[in-house]
Structure 1
Amino acid sequence: MSKTTRATQALAQAGIAFTLRPYDYDPGSERVGLQAAEALGEDPRRVLKTLMVEVDGKPGCVVIPSDQELSMKRVAAAFGGKSAQMMKPPVAERLTGFVVGGISPFGQKKRVPTAIEASAMTHATVLINGGQRGLLLELTPNDAATLTGAAAVPLVA
């Protein structure tokens, strides 16, 4: 596993402190974030998953706790749209340059509007995908929001 990804490079270039948190990725897991939290012995509320969405046909990125479900109504509102849906995996992979299960909000090929679940901002640190399967990055939620330009808003059901 490479410790250098476009995500780690983006954080380093921005001067943001982070810790690499590799884990054994289970390709058969249906819920990657929960599997990662369990593998690392972390609270799933601190392990955030990155999801790519489309709001009124435009791409967006949302970051929410791994034990939560996205509210499409809240996603649409967060991006000032009327309707939201999950982006199809092949489209998400082309847009971000990352594979599903390894999508990071940092270092995406094309920067898109990003939102982070407001409750995630209450933790001292959070773990977010580092740009490849089996690699999380631990950093402050404020640094994550700053680098991505994310608004902290309610996104979960």
Structure 2
Amino acid sequence: MAKKASGTAAGGPTTAATQALTRAGIPFTPHVYTHDAAATDFGAEAARELGVEPARVFKTLMVETDGGLGIGIVSVQDQLDLKALATELGAKKAAMADKALAERKSGYVVGGISPVGQKTRLPTVVDSAALEFATVFVSGGRRGFDIEIAPTALLEAVAGRTAVIRRG
């Protein structure tokens, strides 16, 4: 189960994400877990370690389109529909951004990219499945740290919108 850190912002580590949420007055609950350095499926690891159904844990994916960069947020149990996201971003096509580019533009390491508090604010689309839950989990800005947040609060924090952008 998740362990909460003590002595830091809102009971969890201080990251650009927690700072942005705190500044905006957006409520969230931090959840810290022990990240396994050998793990490569970060979303599945988060769901397992937090004891949360994978449908409630969302991954942040950066894409490159013919119109620039964008962010798609889908549950860890789903795949991102690149064509649907491209359409939502007003582009003809999209491809996953290079990991180094994603890290540089977000300010976070892959596996810990939070949709909140990124260095470069990008157009963001959250899969509409998030609205089925009172709260969802997204990366808090580092591996082993997730933020639990209401989907509407997440949309506010990232100035995003919802659409069906998943392939189940």
TM-score for both structures, normalised by structure 1: 0.96
Structure 2 unpaired stretches of 5+ = none
Q: Distance in 1 between matches of 2:31 and 2:22?
A: 16
**Matched residue SS, 2:79:** coil
Question: Could you report, residue by residue, the CA deviation over 1:72-128 in whole angstroms, capped at 9, with x for unpaired residues?
Answer: 111111101100000000000110110101100111011010000001111000011
**Matched residue SS, 2:59:** strand
User: Post-superposition shift, 1:26?
Assistant: 2.0
Matched, 1:45 2:55: yes
- 8 A Cα contact 2:31 2:146, kept in partner: yes
Letter in 2 for 1:99: V
- 8 A Cα contact 2:67 2:90, kept in partner: no
Matched, 1:66 2:66: no
User: Post-superposition shift, 1:12?
Assistant: 0.2
- 8 A Cα contact 2:86 2:93, kept in partner: yes
Letter in 2 for 1:46: R
User: Post-superposition shift, 1:57?
Assistant: 5.1
User: What percent identity do the matched residue pairs reach?
Assistant: 41
Counterpart among 88, 102, 110 of residue 112 in structure 2: 102
Say what the alpha-carbon RMSD is for the aligned residues: 1.2
Question: Could you report, residue by residue, the CA deviation over 1:112-156 in whole angstroms, capped at 9, with x for unpaired residues?
Answer: 100000011110000110011100000100000111111100111
Q: Distance in 2 between matches of 1:149 and 1:131?
A: 18
Q: Answer with 112-121 or 57-66: which moved more.
A: 57-66
Structure 1 unpaired stretches of 5+ = none
TM-score for both structures, normalised by structure 2: 0.90
Q: Distance in 1 between matches of 2:37 and 2:85?
A: 28
Q: Distance in 2 between matches of 1:128 and 1:146?
A: 14
